[in-house]
Structure 1
Amino acid sequence: MANVDKSTRNKLKKRRFYKRKGFWLTLILLGLVSAGVGYVFLEQYTRPYRERAYTYDLERINEVEIPSIIYDRHGKEIGRHFEQNRSPIPIKDVPKIFIEALKAGEDQRFETHKGVDYLGIGRAVYLNWKAGEETQGASTITQQLAKNAYDLVNESKRRDEPQFKRKIVEAFLAMRIEKRYTKQQILDFYVNRVLFGSGYYGIRSASLGYFGKEPKDLNALESAAIVGTIKSPTWCSPINHPERNRASRNLVLGRMAEAGTITNREAARLQGETLKLNPKPLARNTTHLYERVMDEIERELGEDALMAGGYKIYTSIDAGVQSAMEAKLSERLVTAEARNGYANQKRADFKKAKAANPENPGKAEYLQGAGLMIDHTTGEVLAHVGGRDYVDVPYDVIELGRRPLGTAFLPFVYAAGLERNLTAATVVEDEWMDNRSVMVGGREGVLGEWGMEVAMPKNEGRITARRALEASKIAASVRFAGMAGLENVVKTAEAFGLPMKDVEILPRLATGFESASLKEATRAISAFARGGETAPLKMTYVDRVVDIKGTTRYQRKIEMPTRLRPMGEDTAYIVHDMMRGSMEHGNTAGLSDMLIERPFSGAGKTGTTSDFSDNWFLGYNGKVACGIWIGFLQPGKSIYEGAFSRDLAMPVWAEAMNAASENFGGKVISQPENLVELKICSVTGQRATPYCYVTVHDTATSTPRTRSSEVTELFRKGTDNLPFCQEHSGGSPVASGSAAVGLAALAVIDTTPVRSKTPVLLGEDPYFTEQVMMEGATRAVPRTRTNVLDSFDLGDKEEPMKLPWPKRLEISPDY
């Protein structure tokens, strides 16, 4: 018996401790205590985040974006910018296949959890531990909605807190959302808010942006491709990163097969297919100007700088100038389209076609126009009209386009010549030129004279360079370019910042055959107002950006701008003066009457191409430079025969300059001190004499009239040593060794011809053939007697006296 008891005691001693009742009771008690302590600790630790989650207003969950306001330089609102390209639709218009793809890719237990998927969290922790890096996420659709709707990421950054603390807030907020809204409402909020890559917010924006179709028409492959962008919208876009999107979309297709939405065979087939894109993105409520403003902000602050919205963007734009330019440009384009025989597409017709068939209205190929005005001291943009209608044609002509300059290129041709010691008095032939030597608009016939912008252009024979530029002569300008050297013309144009690299050195380049952008041309023309240096290379739109709290996020720095100096100040002023002459008696005559700034110290130049496909007007005053372009984006299309820039582009330029005159007018462009004035003969370009006259036709009386050909011309010192006019003086070259001194030889004598101060004549003049011009007189002193030459004197209309022919003069050989 004793042995039995001893054996029993030994068995009890050998019983394992974990088989004892006391052990489990103790373990359970410790577990409960630990759980209680853990709960209290967790409750205390998470309380601030739970309380934070209750501060968010659930009524605002569907407010998608606060617009940023764009102001002009005077504080006037000129537009509103929405960063996010979206178009919300009701959840009933979203196809079931997309919803199933979304659940499979982002939240497989969406229908059963209460905002947080604890199984998903555990699975993600295990897979991330196994991979040694973060490869899985566990955020539910509701958590993602909370993060996006209340911008929790940026808030966390401002608080400088780690990601896991933001996740805690996100989880509590998701549970609040689940209690407040139904699953269908949550899906509605989500699919209309989330970013699906390439700037597409919401399912409709993405569906149209990637596939050109409404969401209801999406198939399984397209739905998976869109869902595949969610985890990394920037790097998984099917447009920008098709291979990465392929990998993510195939993962979604695999999960759809696991969920039973599609079969394994169907998933395998779709995973091997090539995704077909057909982008037809939503037209955003924006303009070419807003795009440039946003581009500048992105360069300075980053791509997502304005994502939160609510910013105040102060720009350099002058709303008055912008509005005037837009309105006048639209008016002139409509006028061009209304012309009898206009053969191109009209904007009004395209709009009708678009209204009748929104899905397929055809291409918008109607007449376009653009305008740019800059402060040529600071480089600030005052007006930017990049096209006629952003909705139809978002292509920005100013930023992206280049078109042939036509006759707007001529000032740069003459600057090249003046820089190489030709002068405004250099004589060129204004006669018809064989087009085979230029080959503009064909290979045969004569070179046209479209630059004068008149229906019946006439040649004037020998003319000065000034007259050639004033009248915008084509043949004469080609000859002048030849005198300057075509290589020199190209080098000078490049120095102005015009794109002339690798151009063919042919005479046609003098006619403005090569292309330039409106930005390049406007900057280049400003050099004539600035003493030979251009406006800054960098043009700016944004002055400062202020966030919703009033903090200045960006302020433009005032720096010394980089400019080009293609010519000296003397050349700049002479060409400027030649263009001013065009406003009085050249092809821009009448421009002064259009301008309200009086006196107007600036100038401008028309620009028309040989085929009338492009119209330009480039000009400036003492503070601003402005360029206007009208034409087609498609090459080879003529506006209409005889489409001149003085009729289409020049009025737009004048209207814009008038709008700018109050704030940017009045500055005088001063003449440099190293220029001298000389009186020359306008016929020969040589120094004037008292005998320099030309005969002109008096249209009022239909009779010839004589007038002085003396004009005042500007010369750079060193280029003013001219001979006296030989054509009207009767002088001729003197034979070598002759004792006689001809009038032409007086060119080497630094003197001034003697002019009578009073009408005095020594010696007999029976026929009163000589008339002496007094210094400063504008016409001849009237005579009081009649002679045989009075029939050519139109000062006072008199009956001519008929006199017999004089007898033959005989000279005796004795003398």
Structure 2
Amino acid sequence: GGSTITMQLARNSYPDLNDRSFHRKLVEMMLARRIERHWSKDQILEHYVNRIFFGSNLYGIQRASQVYFGKHASQLSLSEAAMIAGIIRSPVRFSPFRNFEGALKERDDVLERMLLTKVVTKEEELEARYADIALKAQPAFQSQGGYALDVVRRDLDQILEEKEIEDGGLIVYTTLNQQLQIAAEEAVEKRLAAAEKLPGYAHPAKAAFDASWNGSGEVSSTPYLQGAVAILDNETGGILALVGGRDYRQSKYNRATQGNRQIGSTVKPFVYAAAIAGGFLPGTQVEDAPIQPGEIEFADPGWSPKNNDGKFTGAQTLSTGLVQSRNTMTVRVGNFAGLDRVINVIADAGIGNHLTRTPQVFIGNLGGTPRELASAFSIFPNDGVRRRTFLIDKVTDKAGNILWSTNVLESVIIPPGGAHLMRRMLAEVMDRGTAAGIRGEHGFKEPAGGKTGTTNDYKDAWFAGYTDRVTCAVWVGLDRPQTIMDQGYGSRLAIPIWADVVKKAAALGYIPAGPRAEPPLQSVQLCRLSSQLATPACQATGTAYEDKLPVEMIPQGWCGAHQGVIARPEMRDTRRQGPAGPGLFDRIRGWFR
């Protein structure tokens, strides 16, 4: 970059000379002249190589020799010494641990220059060029923390210029909590190893694979049960722990950020949130019955999804439909909200790719990752606000100058009143629904909510849930999608991991500072059929009930369904407008024909 070796030595010796200014350059030049008056060229070079950055958080040639080759610098062969000299030009890009082929090319370039300057003979150059290079086993992060640090590296490539990264010496501050990261890794391994011992699990176990693996390289697809976890801080969106698989050495494929797997019933809260924004309420009745041909807009005529238990229970409340994860009710709820509204809520929450407009998304026919799902579910504890997830908090140089700092970016996905109603229903999922095992079997006591997810034929098992302080998503499955085992539900395979991780987060102090400030609530009489204010006629027919709603969610119209009038619900504002097409009462009346 225009600096002599002596000038670089001056800069590396005095941290205060790391700012980018004309004044710094002048001081650096003056120091360089003073150094050259007092030291020989050999002494300057010796001091230089003992201070500079050699990649992989290594400073000084002695440390680089020990880490890369496991020996003292004086014991390096010509080939090894040439490689270490070669990577000085760009220690991050050409670190042998990160880019061995690039490091070899740099070694060869150094040997060629040594030959041209007659420092070595042709025979010595050829011998060094074709000598075997044996790296010491890579240190690192070498637990599954490698998955998280891989994401840090990719993010770093996006936020800084290549030259800034290659110069090295950066200090990267992440949002990761080391204790929680370790706990998450341990929870994944412990719970999946136990799952591999369950009756009916017929795939290879990781222990058996470990016994046959030669340890020399990663495999394209692991045959054993895999898992992934993402947990974030609701207050900032910062990721506290990220586990992309069970063994980073065997597979660097990051299932937490790259594994785009069908998310199953974990999509349902967003379908219900869209319906609540459109006028439905937790006490609204929806029919749990077979889907009739032509009933669902934009669906294939023969599409008629069933409930997991194969049963139909008749008219149930909206809350029951979510808590018990009823497919037919969810499809009708999504149909009322409107396909476009549902897709927009899902997309705004940050899940997957929604190029295909199909009602099948109502019950989870779309892909997503644990990182996406954790971010999406955080809108419920965050009063409808989604905060962008991130891993890098800030980056500084050696002198402490901030090169990058991440700002908290947020957007409103659903109204606060809608988020309140969703929290109420998702809390019931844990108390009496498909995730009730969290309270009983796993003893989780913190206020929380969440949703299980299981795809067809038990190929994917999910759980995504939150407390007031953290949101966590867990996926379990096989790299090549196939049935994990019979009854391989999210409640059976994913919830144990979630409970371990989130309990550890609470123990580490990730708890709210005080009680949640809920929105003002008002008691109102409502009609279960129309989602409007109840009339005496509603009382007479038995469809009236009392509920406490956020003021912004209270309907503004009176029920007309029990006065011989079929009317569309009157909405308070555009957020509660129903979709175009048949009115709410027309649809409800059709369910009972």
Give TM-score, length-normalised by structure 1. 0.52
Q: Counterpart of 2:474?
A: 628
Q: How many Å apart are 1:625 and its aligned residue?
A: 1.9
Tell whether the 8 Å contact from 1:372 to 1:384 is kept in structure 2 after alignment: yes
Q: How many Å apart are 1:646 and its aligned residue?
A: 0.9
Secondary structure, in 3 states, of the residue corresponding to 1:531? coil
| One-letter amino acid of the structure 2 residue matched with residue 612 of structure 1 | Y
- Are residues 1:430 and 2:282 paired? no
Q: Counterpart of 2:498?
A: 653
Q: Counterpart of 1:528?
A: 380
Tell whether the 8 Å contact from 2:532 to 2:557 is kept in structure 1 after alignment: no
Distance 2:118 2:476 in 1: 57
- Distance change (3 Å), C-alpha of 1:223 and 1:324: closer
Distance 1:628 1:615 in 2: 8
Q: Counterpart of 1:92?
A: none
Secondary structure, in 3 states, of the residue corresponding to 1:392? coil
Q: How many Å apart are 1:465 and its aligned residue?
A: 2.5
Q: Counterpart of 1:721?
A: 558
Distance 2:102 2:212 in 1: 36
Q: Counterpart of 1:248?
A: 109
Q: Counterpart of 1:498?
A: 351
- Distance change (3 Å), C-alpha of 1:668 and 1:648: farther
- Distance change (3 Å), C-alpha of 1:348 and 1:260: same
Distance 1:280 1:510 in 2: 52
- Distance change (3 Å), C-alpha of 1:558 and 1:517: closer
Secondary structure, in 3 states, of the residue corresponding to 1:564? strand
Secondary structure, in 3 states, of the residue corresponding to 2:481? coil
- Are residues 1:539 and 2:390 paired? yes
Tell whether the 8 Å contact from 1:481 to 1:510 is kept in structure 2 after alignment: yes
Q: How many Å apart are 1:329 and its aligned residue?
A: 2.6
Q: How many Å apart are 1:278 and its aligned residue?
A: 13
Q: How many Å apart are 1:573 and its aligned residue?
A: 1.5
- Are residues 1:612 and 2:476 paired? no
| One-letter amino acid of the structure 2 residue matched with residue 342 of structure 1 | Y
| One-letter amino acid of the structure 1 residue matched with residue 86 of structure 2 | T
- Distance change (3 Å), C-alpha of 1:164 and 1:468: same
Distance 2:314 2:488 in 1: 26
Q: How many Å apart are 1:648 and its aligned residue?
A: 1.7
Q: Counterpart of 1:794?
A: none
Paired-residue identity, %: 20
| One-letter amino acid of the structure 1 residue matched with residue 109 of structure 2 | S
Q: How many Å apart are 1:155 and its aligned residue?
A: 0.8
1:284 to 137, 140, 143: 140
- Are residues 1:359 and 2:216 paired? yes
2:411 to 549, 556, 564: 564
- Any gaps of 5 or more consecutive residues in structure 2? 18-26, 569-593
Equivalent runs, 1:471-490 vs 2, <5 Å: 471-490=324-343
- Are residues 1:229 and 2:74 paired? no
2:190 to 324, 328, 331: 331
- Are residues 1:375 and 2:194 paired? no
Write the deviation string for residues 683-738 of structure 1: whole angstroms up to 9, x where unpaired: 99995646749xxxxxxxxxxxxxxx9674758222663357x7xxxxxxxxxxxx
Q: How many Å apart are 1:617 and its aligned residue?
A: 1.6
Q: How many Å apart are 1:432 and its aligned residue?
A: 4.0
Q: Counterpart of 2:318?
A: 465
Write the deviation string for residues 139-183 of structure 1: whole angstroms up to 9, x where unpaired: 9xxx9xxx99xx7761167574434655676647649989xxxxx
Distance 1:530 1:282 in 2: 41
Tell whether the 8 Å contact from 2:217 to 2:250 is kept in structure 1 after alignment: no
Give TM-score, length-normalised by structure 2. 0.69
Tell whether the 8 Å contact from 1:196 to 1:229 is kept in structure 2 after alignment: no
| One-letter amino acid of the structure 2 residue matched with residue 627 of structure 1 | A
- Distance change (3 Å), C-alpha of 1:362 and 1:580: closer
RMSD (CA atoms) = 5.5
Q: Counterpart of 1:419?
A: 277
Structure with larger Rg: 1
Distance 2:533 2:315 in 1: 12
Tell whether the 8 Å contact from 2:525 to 2:533 is kept in structure 1 after alignment: no
| One-letter amino acid of the structure 2 residue matched with residue 494 of structure 1 | A
| One-letter amino acid of the structure 2 residue matched with residue 640 of structure 1 | M
Q: Counterpart of 2:363?
A: 511
| One-letter amino acid of the structure 2 residue matched with residue 345 of structure 1 | P
Distance 1:515 1:292 in 2: 20
Q: Counterpart of 2:588?
A: none
Tell whether the 8 Å contact from 1:421 to 1:719 is kept in structure 2 after alignment: no
- Any gaps of 5 or more consecutive residues in structure 1? 1-132, 179-188, 209-214, 451-455, 694-708, 727-742, 749-815
Tell whether the 8 Å contact from 2:268 to 2:322 is kept in structure 1 after alignment: yes
Distance 1:176 1:373 in 2: 47
Distance 2:389 2:43 in 1: 48
- Distance change (3 Å), C-alpha of 1:594 and 1:658: farther
Q: How many Å apart are 1:374 and its aligned residue?
A: 2.4
Q: Counterpart of 2:207?
A: 348
| One-letter amino acid of the structure 2 residue matched with residue 504 of structure 1 | T
Tell whether the 8 Å contact from 2:68 to 2:135 is kept in structure 1 after alignment: no
Secondary structure, in 3 states, of the residue corresponding to 2:379? helix
- Distance change (3 Å), C-alpha of 1:165 and 1:341: farther
- Distance change (3 Å), C-alpha of 1:611 and 1:562: same
Q: How many residues are aligned here? A: 526
Distance 2:322 2:190 in 1: 29
Distance 2:523 2:277 in 1: 16
Q: Counterpart of 1:397?
A: 255
Distance 2:290 2:307 in 1: 9
Q: How many Å apart are 1:644 and its aligned residue?
A: 0.8
Secondary structure, in 3 states, of the residue corresponding to 1:629? strand
